[in-house]
Amino acid sequence: MDKHIYNQALERSEGGLCECYGCQSNNNTQLHHIIKGSGKRTQCERIESVLFLCWEHHFGNYGVHGKNGHVLDMKLKIKLQETYFNLGMSEDDVRKLLGGKLYD
C-alpha cells in the first residue's frame, strides 16, 4: 500500500470514518481496495480506488466481502468508473484502471 495514498484516504475520511454512502462509523474501519484480484490491486491503486469501510460495510452480510455483498461491490465499482470518466479519462484508460473491464 502506497503510504501517500493511504494518508490521502485517511484525511479524506476524516481520520478513518466509513466512507460508504454517509455511514461515517468508526467501527473497526479498514482501507478497502475497490479493484481487487491478483496483480490488479496494486496496479490499479489510486486515491479514487480506495476507501475506508466500517466492519459492517466491509465484512458484514451485505458488506463488499460478505455473503450478500455483490450489490455494494458493484455500486462501488460503478461509482469509481463514473469518477474516472468525470476526470476526463479515456475509455481505454478507465478500462485499465478497473482491471480490464467496464461496468454497467
User: Domain extents for the chain?
Assistant: 3-97
The model carries a pTM of 0.89
Which of 11-25, 39-53, 56-70, 85-99 has the least mean pLDDT?
39-53
* DSSP secondary structure, 40-97, as one string: HHHHT--GGGEEEE-HHHHHSTTSTTSTT-HHHHHHHHHHHHHHHHHTT--HHHHHHH
The x, y and z cell numbers of residue 14, run together, are 476524516
Interatomic CA distance for residues 31 and 70, integer angstroms: 18
Residue 52, strand partner residues: 31
Taking 90 as the threshold, does the pLDDT of residue 9 lie above it?
A: yes
